[in-house]
């Protein structure tokens, strides 16, 4: 009984989180990124079925495009997992060493910050 109630509360929290903070969509594109990237979208660039890179607008709001290489022969390289619910996970974390210094884990279409980011301060 108790476990059932906890499960319902957990489901409600998930539903509320998705409503208030929906996960990033995944968009697979051929060869090239569109000239303007949409917010809250992870782009996967593929060429002839080979995954080349993942790209997204920096989630801190600095409007920079982040490029994550997916070609195993090149470094650094990220591992991409696409999930049945349409979201994706990138491994390892994404860490900008310059400018905004965003450092986050991208998991199931969600950004999990690795440390506090000075958002809104330039």
If binding is defined by CB under 5 A, does position 117 make contact with Zn ion? Answer: no
Stretch that binds Zn ion, among 15-23, 30-38, 47-55, 96-104 (CB under 5 A): 96-104
Stretch that binds Zn ion, among 21-29, 48-56, 83-91, 98-106 (CB under 5 A): 98-106
CB 104 within 8 A of CB 59: yes
Q: What angle do CA 101, 103, 104 make, to 5 degrees?
A: 150
Task: Give the count of beta carbons closer than 10 Å to the beta carbon of residue 11.
Answer: 10
Burial of 56 (0-12, 13-18, 19+ CB in 10 A): buried
Number of continuous H segments (helices) and E segments (strands) in the chain: 1, 8
- Spell out, one character per residue from 54 to 83, where the chain touches Zn ion: x when CB under 5 A holds, - when not: ----x-x-x---------------------
Smaller CB separation from Zn ion, 51 or 53? 53
Report 5-64 residues binding Zn ion (CB under 5 A): 58, 60, 62
- Which residues here bind Zn ion, judged by CB under 5 A? 58, 60, 62, 100, 102
């Amino acid at each position: 009984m108790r476990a059932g109630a906890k499960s319902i509360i957990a489901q409600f929290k998930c539903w509320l989180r998705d409503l208030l903070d929906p996960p990033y969509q995944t968009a697979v594109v051929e060869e090239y990124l569109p000239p303007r990237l949409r917010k809250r979208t992870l782009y996967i660039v593929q060429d002839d079925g080979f995954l080349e890179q993942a790209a997204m607008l920096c989630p801190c709001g600095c409007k920079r495009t982040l490029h994550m290489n997916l070609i195993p022969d090149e470094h650094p390289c990220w591992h991409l997992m696409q999930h049945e619910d349409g979201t994706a996970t990138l491994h390892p974390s994404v860490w900008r060493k310059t400018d905004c210094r965003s450092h986050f884990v991208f998991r199931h279409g969600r950004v999990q910050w690795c440390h506090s980011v000075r958002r809104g301060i330039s």
